[in-house]
Amino acid sequence: MAKYGQNAGAIAALVREAEVHRDVYVDPEIFELEMEHLFPNSWIYVGHASQLGKPGDFITANIGRQPVLASRHTDGSIHVFYNRCPHKGVKIASEPCGNTGKFFRCPYHAWSFKTDGSLLAIPLKKGYEGTGFDDTQANEGLSKVRNVVIYRDFIFARLSDDGVSFEDYFGESLSTIDNMVDRSPEGKLAVQATPIRYMHTCNWKMLVENQTDTCHPMVAHESSAGTAVKVWKREQGSSTETPMAVQLYGPFMSPYEFYEQSGIRIWPNGHGHTGVANSIHSNYSDIEGYLGQMVAAYGEQRAHEILGEVRHNTVYFPNIMVKGAVQILRNFIPIAVDRTLVESWVYRLVGAPDKLYERALMYNRFINAPTSIVGHDDLEMYERAQEGLKSNGNQWVNLRRLYESHEEQDVTAVINGTSERQMRNQFHAWSKFMTMDMDKRVEAAE
């Protein structure tokens, strides 16, 4: 028997002002309700326009449980569809990406569709004459996702017909994407490599929360990043140049005071970022020629403004994180209540020195890969939490650090860098987007 069903009140009760019930992480029913409500009601990242470089290129993705397909049409436009044939429901494309040529062809009965989704041909179509086929939805071709926005080549979609507009959903948080794109002297990013994919045996929200958890690095990563720093101090001798690996690992051991002063900025609808005044990416060595390229492109003042904004992790609710300073996006894809596929994408700054791309690729391998010594620290904590939350001793997760009574919701604010307010911000958004359409559905059913 369903414990929560379509009961908006029961689901909202899982989120208190500074606590959340363990069911948000461990209950399979809650997970399925997220797939049914949260993800369709939110704006979800589908992919990047550079992955669709020429007509016929396509990528596939999932929004909750819904498989979707994005393609570049012959006129250069990009379209997003539900990834199913309107005949028998077979997925049109099963690969993560590829080029379909001039049309998509269903592998079951050879129905074919133009790359804008319109129906192209059906074998033996005369068999449909006089059947009323022309008046069916199937005759319209692939079903389009109607709410699609391409923002600076980032493709977002919302499945629900009604909901918060793209502009109102993201608001000022889009400044992180702006900054990442503007770091290219040409104002353009490009995906040139497949992502690192890494399965995590935990709930997807644990990964999202961890992106703005600044009280764990110096603890959880002491044995990995801390050891790397100790070894370098022991072995560096007279060297004055810090190896790239140490530059990437070392800041994880920054003290609490560093993170407190760095700050966190929260935005409405669950978005927020660490590293307002400073971040672990601030002190990487300069890349020869890069500043000159930026000054030539933007002017002295604007170039320094762009490069001086060195945010750490920006969470775009519900399930992506952007590192503008190293051109990385991590997509936390829910598979099951205790399984999350993490895709870590690296973008090239078009027109910038190759060394910047090499550094971003290195960061991704060192920090986000299954072979990462740092990533395994986090995964062990997620697995322990997933197991520990089965305990009946306490069914509530505490998010009270630097909590102030009657905190305002859906506001923009800069706060102490070790606050858990961004986590509270995310769960406020979780409750809102989980329940915003439930009352309507219940009324319609009655």
What pLDDT was estimated at residue 65? Answer: 95
What pLDDT was estimated at residue 246? Answer: 82
- Average pLDDT of the residues in 411-425: 97
pLDDT band of 236, cuts 50, 70, 90: confident
pLDDT band of 445, cuts 50, 70, 90: low
Give pLDDT tens digits for 349-369.
Answer: 999 999 999 999 999 998 999
What pLDDT was estimated at residue 439? Answer: 67
> Rg of the chain over CA atoms, in angstroms?
23
pLDDT band of 189, cuts 50, 70, 90: very high
List, in sequence order, every residue forming a beta bridge with 328; answer none if it has no partner.
323, 346
The residue among 234 and 395 whose pLDDT is bigger is 395
- Average pLDDT of the residues in 279-294: 91
- Examine the pLDDT at 284 and tell me if it is beyond 90: no
- Average pLDDT of the residues in 329-357: 98
Give pLDDT tens digits for 421-436.
Answer: 999 999 999 999 999 9
CA distance 156 to 145: 11
Q: Taking the model in full, what pTM does it have?
A: 0.95
- For 45-151, which CATH superfamily applies? Rieske [2Fe-2S] iron-sulphur domain (2.102.10.10)
- Examine the pLDDT at 244 and tell me if it is beyond 90: no
- Average pLDDT of the residues in 335-346: 98
What pLDDT was estimated at residue 126? Answer: 94
Q: Is 259:253 a contact under the CB 8 Å cutoff?
A: no
What pLDDT was estimated at residue 160? Answer: 96
- Examine the pLDDT at 49 and tell me if it is beyond 70: yes
Residues of the chain with CATH 2.102.10.10: 45-151
What pLDDT was estimated at residue 226? Answer: 87
CA distance 271 to 71: 28
Provide CATH code, domain 185-432: 3.90.380.10
Three-state SS string over the chain comes to CCCCCCCHHHHHCCECCCEEECHHHHCHHHHHHHHHHHHHHCCEEEEEHHHCCCCCEEEEEEECCEEEEEEECCCCCEEEEECCCCCCCCCCCCCCEEECCCEEECCCCCCEEECCCCEEECCCHHHHCCCCHHHCHHHHCCCECCEEEEECCEEEEECCCCCCCHHHHHHHHHHHHHHHHHCCCCCCEEECCCCEEEEECCCHHHHHHHCCCCCCHHHHCCCCHHHHHHHHHHHCCCCCCCCHHHHHHHHHHCCHHHHHHHCEEECHHHCEEECCCCCCCCCCCCCCCHHHHHHHHHCHHHHHHHHHCCCCCEEECCCEEEEHHHCEEEEEEEEECCEEEEEEEEEEECCCCHHHHHHHHHHHHHHHCCCCHHHHHHHHHHHHHHHHCCCCCCCEEECCCCCCCCCCCCCCEEECCCCCHHHHHHHHHHHHHHHCCHHHHHHHHC
What pLDDT was estimated at residue 166? Answer: 98
- Examine the pLDDT at 442 and tell me if it is beyond 80: no
What backbone phi and psi angles, to 5 degrees, belong to 159? Answer: -75, -35
Give the dihedral sign, CA 313/315/320/322.
negative
Residues of the chain with CATH 3.90.380.10: 185-432
Give pLDDT tens digits for 127-172.
Answer: 999 999 999 999 999 999 999 999 999 999 999 999 999 999 999 9
What pLDDT was estimated at residue 377? Answer: 92
- Average pLDDT of the residues in 370-392: 93
